[in-house]
Structure 1
Amino acid sequence: MEKTTPDTPVEIIPVSTLTCPECGHSESETMPTDACQWFYDCKGCGVVLKPLAGDCCVYCSYGTVACPPIQEGDSCCS
């Protein structure tokens, strides 16, 4: 994998598929680029997903793609 530098443009993947650990329902969602998403209501069973310990948002915990700040190499949504 090629390491990025401040001069290397990073292509942000805007959509992540969240999978509920309770019921297994998956839903593709467009991630916010200007804020973290700490909660997500599962559209399958209604449980409220919260980030796992050490993760900054629900996309980092349950998504197929990490949130935009992590993709850019930042520590997260500070």
Structure 2
Amino acid sequence: MSAIILESVLTCPHCGHAQQETMPTDACQFYYECLNCKTLLRPQAGHCCVFCSFGSVPCPPIQQQQRGCC
């Protein structure tokens, strides 16, 4: 079984800026301010957090669900 990935690259849908961030393991992150254009990102409908909507890797709780553990 592979380890949970804690790093994800968030890409702003407004300006295309990409930034690597560390995901929280104990909560979903609902808001993220783009460091380039200052747009406040929120999860898309049906997603639990900004990492699931705009990240290169889904958040740790979703990774755990996809692996069938916990």
> TM-score by structure 2 length?
0.90
Aligned residues: 66
Query: What is the aligned partner in structure 2 of residue 33 from structure 1?
Result: 25
Q: Which has the larger radius of gyration?
A: 1
Q: Higher helix share goes to which structure?
A: 2
Give matches, 1:29-68, under 5 Å.
Answer: 29-68=21-60
SS in 2 for 1:27: strand
State the identity %. Answer: 58
Extract structure 1 runs of 4+ deviating beyond 6 A.
none
- Partners in 1 of 2:40 and 2:2 — Cα distance? 31
**Structure 2, unaligned runs of 5 or more:** none
> TM-score by structure 1 length?
0.81
Q: RMSD over aligned Cα, in angstroms?
A: 1.1
